[in-house]
Amino acid sequence: MAKHSAQDTFEAQKEKIQEIIEKLAVQFDLDEEDLGTIKEWGTALLVTGVSVYIVYQLIQRLLGSDQEEEEDDDIADRTSAFAEMLKKQAGLILLAVARSQLKRIFR
């Protein structure tokens, strides 16, 4: 049951994200090509960020650390790293939107 419920939650979140993307596309007058580019960049950035984080964690565990960190500090570090990654991704999306608008202006 829990697996089915998690799947339902995932699908609901996926639908909400799709609605947000559609609203942004209408608001910024984006065409399908622009949306495809933004999605490709976002996916690539997300995969890269997660990969770098996993490699970092593996290196930390292999090398070990002399000091034990508290659990709260570790969670705060992960949260801030994730927030930083999202900020960078949002910046790239805004650059893509700005590029698209500039292309429309100069056409």
Of 26, 47, 25, nearest to 93 by C-alpha is 25
Domain co-membership, 6 together with 35: no
If you average pLDDT over residues 93-103, what whole number do you get? 80
Domain co-membership, 15 together with 62: no
Domain count, the chain: 2
Residue predicted with more confidence, 66 or 18: 18
- What is the average pLDDT score of the chain? 77
Domain co-membership, 49 together with 7: no
Say what the alpha-carbon torsion angle 90, 43, 103, 99 is, to the nearest 10 degrees.
Answer: 30
Specify whether the CB–CB gap between 97 and 35 falls below 8 A. no
If you average pLDDT over residues 4-22, what whole number do you get? 79
Domain co-membership, 63 together with 85: yes
Task: Please count the CA atoms within 13 angstroms of the CA of 41 that sit on its side-chain side.
Answer: 18
Domain co-membership, 63 together with 102: yes
Domain co-membership, 87 together with 67: yes
Domain co-membership, 55 together with 12: no
Domain co-membership, 25 together with 35: no
Indicate whether 7 pLDDT > 50: yes
pLDDT digits (tens, 9 = 90+) for 69-80: 555 566 677 777
Residue 14: domain span: 1-30
- pLDDT value at residue 1: 46
Domain co-membership, 52 together with 83: yes
Q: Given pLDDT bands bounded at 50, 70 and 90, which one contains residue 65?
A: low
- pLDDT value at residue 86: 80
